[in-house]
Chain A
Amino acid sequence: MALPPYQVLNQSQLRTIHAHTLDILANTGIAVQHKAALEMLAEAGARVNFQRRRVFFPPALVEQALKNIPREFVCAGREPVFDFRVAVDAPPVCRCTGGAVNHVDFVTNQRHPLTLADCRDIAHIVDGLENTAFTATQTPSDAALPVYDIQALKTMLTSGRKHIWALADSAENLTYQLEMMLAVAGSSKALAKRPICHGIVTLLEPFIFPHDEIERLLLYGRYRIPVKVPVVPMMGANAPATIAGTMVQANAEAVAAVALIHCLCPGTPTWYYFFVQAMNKRTGGSIFMSPEIVICSLALIQMARHYRLPAAPSSFETTGARLEDVVFGNGMSVNLFALAGAFENASTGCVDMSLGISKQGLVIGDDIWRHTRRLLEGFVDEKDAFALDAIKRVSIGSNEYLSDDHTLRFLRREAQFVPGVIANRPGAEWYSDPKSLAREARERVADLLENHMVPPLDAAVRKELDSIEQTAKQQILNA
C-alpha cells in the first residue's frame, strides 16, 4: 500500500495561494525581455505593456495553461532501460546535482576545481547507481570557459547512459548542445519521442525572464525537449521574509512559467521545479535547508500536486560541506519531501553552498534514496498480512516467527530493506573494522569506476560529437 501524501496546507490555504497567484499574474505581471515573445504572448491572449515589457495573464488564460500543459512525458536514457516516466503519479526519482564548480572529498576534506575528468566519472558513477535516475552537467574548470557547457555535455553523453539535465550557458551554446543530442538520438523525431536530455530556462527573481532565456525556451520548444524553469526564491532577499509570502511568490512564478510555455511553445513538457532558499541574516549568504525552507517546500509540493504537475524540489541538503551535516540534513528533508509527493528529488552529491559535488556524496545520496524508496512503498494490507492465524500459532506454540510458515511464505511478498553504504552495523561488528562512512563511500566509488562497465557510444556518433565540439570552439572562441 503506497503511502498517502503528507500535506501541510488545508484546502482553504491551498485555494488562497492559488487565488493570490491569479491576482499577481493578472495585476502585477511578469517581465519578459524579448520583443518577439511579447508579441506572441499578446496574440495568445495576455495583456502586454510593450513599453515596460511587462505581461499580465488573465485568470482564464492561466487556467487554460494549467489544463493544457502535458501531464505525462518520458525522459529517456541512451538505452530504453534507463527511461523513466515523468508524471505526478509516476514512481518518484532522485537525481544528481548539476552545475557544480568544485569537487569535494569527504575523506580528505579537500576540494578542487571540478574538471572534465570529474564530469566523466560522475556520469560513469551515476550510470552504475541503482537508485539515482539521472545526472546533470557540471561546470568544469579545465574546459574553455565560453564553451564549457558544450564540452561538459559531450563528456557526460559519452561516459554514461542515463538521462542528462543539460545546463546551457546561452542560446548560442544550446544550438551546439542540441546538435549533440540529435547526434545521439538519431533524428529530431526520435529526440522528441525519447529526449535524452532536458533543458533549463532561468527566471531571475522576482518574475523576470531575460532575453536569452526566452531564446532558449523557444529552441527547446522547437524540439519538444522538456524544460525546467527553476524557481529560486531566497526568503528575506528576493522573496518575502515570511514563509507564506514566499509560497505565494514561488507558486506565482511556477505558474507563470507554465503560462509562458503554454503561450510560446505549447506542448513542451515541464516540471514544477523550485529550490527555496533563505538569506542568512548574519552573513548575507544563502541557506539551502532549514525548517522554514522545508515547510515552504512541502506547501509548494502540495500546490504542484494540486495542479497535477510533477513536483521537482531540491530535497537534499546542499549548504554544508561536513559529511555529518549533509547526512543529517538529508535525513531531515528527503523523506519528508518524498512523503509529500515530490516526483523528482534533487540533488544527490551536492555540497558546499550548492557549488560543490562529491562523488562519495553521490553514493551516499543514492543510499539515502534507497531508504526513502522503501519507505514510500508502505506496507501490504491484504487480509493475510494482518497475520491473525500466525499470531495465534506462534503465541501459543514456538514463541518465534523466524521458522513459522507465515514468515517463509510472506518474506518476499513485502519488501525487506537492505542497506548499502549506510549499513547500520551492530557495534560489535563495526568496532572490529571501524571504517568511516566517507571511506566506505570512497571504496564504493572506486569499485564503480573500476568494475562497472559503460558500453561506449557508437564510433560514428563519437566522431560526430567531436566534430560538433570542434565547430563550436572555432565559432565561439574565434568570435
Chain B
Amino acid sequence: MIPAAAADTAEKHNIDLKPPGVPGLKVISDADCAKIHEASLEVLNTTGIVVTSPRAQSVFADHGAIVDRSTSRVRLPPDLVEKALAGMPSTIRIPGRDPSRDYIMGQNRLGFVNFGSTVYLNDLYTGQRRDALKEDVAQATRVMDTLDSLKILISMLNATDKSPLTESLHTLAAMLANTTKPVEAIPPTADLIPKMARIGEAAVGKDTFRKRPFFFTGVCVVSPLQLVDECSEVLMAAVEHGFTTSVLSMCLAGGTSPIHLAGTVVQHNAEVLSGLTLGQLVKPGAPMFYSSSTTALDMRFGAAAVGSPEGALLNAALAKMGRYYHIPVRVSGG
C-alpha cells in the first residue's frame, strides 16, 4: 500500500509508481523512495549544504534559495529542487568520437564503465607497483577500447609524470588518441574545461565537437553536504560547455555519513540532488546523471568497504532512487 502523501509526491512529479509484483530487484519500494525523497528535501531545506563558490551561491540565491554568505550555507526550498528534477532528460546520448559508439543512457539500458583515476600501476612486466605515466594511460585506453562491455571510459590511470596543473589534460589527450568511445574527463578546476573543449575541437573541428562533445564530466560532492569549488565550479563550466555531467557522492557510512544505511541513502540523495539542481539552474534541461560510489566505512582499516554487502545494498537503493526520478543513474558495482 503506497501512503497517500507519497503517492501525492509521486503524482506531482509524474513519477510512475510501479504496481507490486513487477519483476526485478527491489531493495527499496516505491514508497521507500518517496520517504527518502521527502527526507532529502527536508535535509536540503533545513540543514542545507555548504557552497563555497560565490558564483554558485549567487545562482542558488537568484532562484530562491536562502544563502547565508557568512557560513557559506545554502538552504534549498523543496519546490526549487523538484522543479529542477522535473526538467531533467530521462534519456541522454553521450557521444563517442565515432558516432557508432555513442552511449545512450537511461530507462532500462545497462552498460559498464571501468574503475578510474588511480595513481598507481602494477607493472605488467615487473609485477611491481609504480606511479602511472602518460604512456600507461594510452596503453590502458587501447585495451579498454577493445572491450565490448565497457560503453564509456574513465581514465583508468592518471598521468602522474605530468604537472598536477595539467595532468588531467594530458590524461584526456592520451585517452582521446586511443579510443573513439565517450571519455569521462575529471578536471580538478573549472578553468580546464575550456581547455578540454579545445582538445576536442582540435581533434574533430570546432563545429563538430560542439554538436557532439564526446567528453563528459564527473564531479563529486564532498560528504557531508559540501559543494566545494572543485565540484560546483567545474559542474557549472561543464554544463555550459554542453558536456554531459555526472554528479557523484562517495559517502562512507559511519565516517562521513550516518552509520545506518537508510540515513546514508538520505544524505547521499540530498548531496546529489544539490549538484543536479545547480546544473539545471545554470542550464535547464542539461544532460546530467545521478551517480554513486557510496559504501560503508571498514572500521578495521579506516578504509572504504568497497564490494561489501553494505555497499551492494546502498548502491541498489541509490540506483532505485535514480530510476524513481526517471533520470539515468550510475553506481559503483564493487
A window 38-78: CB within 8 A of B: none
Is there contact, CB below 8 Å, between A375 and B47?
no
- One of A86-94, A129-137, A402-410 contacting the partner: A402-410
Measured in the bound complex, the distance between the Cα atoms of B46 and A429 in whole Å is: 42
Given A378-B27, A401-B256, A426-B301: A388 in contact with B313 (beta carbons within 8 A):
no
Residues of A within 8 A of B301 (CB): 425-426, 429
Q: Which residue of B lies closest to A381 (CB)?
A: B262
CB-contact partner of A386 in B29, B263, B303, under 8 A: B263
Contact B39 A402 (CB under 8 A): no
Q: Is B259 interfacial (CB 8 A cutoff)?
A: yes
Does A386 lie within 8 Å of B266, measured CB to CB?
yes
CB atoms of B263 and A4 under 8 A apart:
no
In the assembled complex, the Cα of A10 lies from the Cα of B19 at a distance in Å of: 11
**A3 in the interface (beta carbon within 8 A):** yes
| Given A391-B43, A395-B225, A417-B308, residue A385 in contact with residue B25 (CB < 8 A) | no
- B307 interface residue per 8 A CB criterion: yes
B21 touches A385 (CB 8 A): no
Which of B259, B270, B303, B310 lies in contact with A417, CB distance below 8 A? B310
Which residue of chain B has its CB nearest to the CB of A414? B260
Does any Cβ of B come within 8 Å of A144's Cβ? no
Interface residues of B in 281-334 (CB under 8 A from A): 296-301, 303, 305-310, 312-313, 317
- By a CB distance below 8 angstroms, the chain B residues around A379 are 260-262, 313, 317
CB of A251 within 8 A of chain B? Answer: no
A380 close to B261 (CB less than 8 A) = yes
Let me know if B257 is at the binding interface, CB within 8 A. Answer: yes
A window 373-398: CB within 8 A of B: 374-375, 378-381, 384-388, 390-392, 394-396
Contact A402 B254 (CB under 8 A): yes
Contact of B129 with A by CB under 8 A: yes
A407 CB contact (under 8 Å) in B224, B254, B261: B254
Q: How far is the CA of A4 from the CA of B31 in the complex (A)?
A: 13
- Residue B258 at the chain A interface, CB threshold 8 Å: yes
B259-A388 in contact (CB<8A): no
Closest to B299 in A: A416
Known: A4-B29, A10-B22, A375-B313. A380 touches B260 (CB 8 A): yes
A418-B298 Cα distance, complex, nearest whole Å: 9
- Name the one of B25, B35, B47, B300 contacting A339, with C-beta atoms under 8 angstroms: B25
Main secondary structure of the interface of B (DSSP, over half): mixed
Q: Scan B81-114; emit 1 where CB is below 8 A from any A CB, else 0.
A: 0000000000000000000000000000000000
B256 contact set on A, CB distance < 8 A: 399-401
Instruction: Check if B262 sits within 8 Å of A387, measured CB to CB.
Output: yes
- Chain A residue at minimal CB-CB distance from B48: A395
- Indicate if A9 sits at the interface (CB-CB under 8 A): yes
Residue in A closest to B263 when the chains form the complex, CB atoms: A387
With a cutoff of 8 Å between Cβ atoms, the chain B residues found around residue A431 in the complex are 129
Inter-chain contact B260/A413, CB cutoff 8 Å = yes
Q: Is A11's CB within 8 Å of the partner chain B?
A: yes
Interface status of A371 (Cβ within 8 A of chain B): yes
Q: How far is the CA of A400 from the CA of B313 in the complex (A)?
A: 22
Residues of B within 8 A of A400 (CB): 255-256
Write the nearest CB–CB distance from A159 to chain B, whole angstroms.
32
Chain B residue numbers with a CB within 8 Å of A183 are none
Contact partners of B270 in chain A: CB under 8 A? 391
Number of A-B contacts defined by CB within 8 Å: 139
Tell me the minimal C-beta distance from B283 to chain A in angstroms: 27
Residue in A402, A406, A411, A429 whose Cβ sees the most chain B Cβ within 10 Å: A402
Q: Is B55 an interface residue (CB 8 A)?
A: no
Known pairs A391-B47, A391-B258, A401-B258; A385 contacts B313 (CB<8 A)? no
Q: Which listed residue (A9, A374, A392, A413) contacts B309, Cβ 8 A?
A: A374
- Taking CB atoms and an 8 Å cut-off, the chain B residues in 1-51 that contact chain A are 21-27, 29, 32, 35-36, 39, 42-43, 46-47, 49-50
Contact of B24 among A6, A335, A406 (CB under 8 A): A6
Contact yes or no, B21 A10, CB < 8 A: yes
**CB within 8 Å of A: which B188-244 residues:** 224-225
Contact A424 B225 (CB under 8 A): no
* A479→B242 CA distance, assembly (Å): 86
**Given contacts A11-B21, A391-B47, A386 and B262 within 8 Å (CB-CB):** yes
- Decide if B307 touches A388 in the complex (CB within 8 Å): no
Q: In the complex, what distance in Å separates the CA atom of A8 from the CA atom of B24?
A: 6
Interface string of A435-477 (1 = CB under 8 A from B): 0000000000000000000000000000000000000000000
Which among B21, B32, B73, B309 has the greatest number of chain A C-beta atoms within 10 A? B309
- Closest chain-A Cβ to B221's Cβ sits at a distance in Å of 12
Residues of A within 8 A of B297 (CB): 402
Find the residue from B24, B263, B306, B317 having the highest chain A CB count within 10 A: B263
Q: Whose C-beta in chain B lies nearest to the C-beta of A11?
A: B21
Closest partner residue, chain A, to B257 (CB atom): A401
- Chain A residues near B257 (CB-CB < 8 A): 391, 401
Chain A residues near B254 (CB, 8 Å)?
A: 401-402, 407, 411
**A7 in the interface, Cβ–Cβ < 8 Å?**
yes
Give, as a whole number of angstroms, the nearest-CB distance from B29 to chain A. Answer: 7
A411–B21 touching, CB < 8 Å:
no
Which 3 residue pairs across A and B have the least CB separation, nearest first? A387-B263, A387-B258, A379-B261
A-side residues, CB < 8 A to B, are 3-4, 6-11, 335, 339, 371-372, 374-375, 378-381, 384-388, 390-392, 394-396, 399-402, 406-407, 410-411, 413-414, 416-419, 424-427, 429, 431
28 CB < 8 A contacts A-B? A6-B25, A8-B23, A371-B308, A372-B309, A375-B309, A375-B313, A379-B260, A379-B261, A379-B262, A379-B313, A385-B260, A387-B264, A387-B266, A387-B267, A388-B39, A390-B263, A391-B266, A395-B47, A401-B254, A402-B297, A406-B258, A410-B259, A410-B260, A414-B259, A417-B310, A418-B300, A425-B301, A429-B301
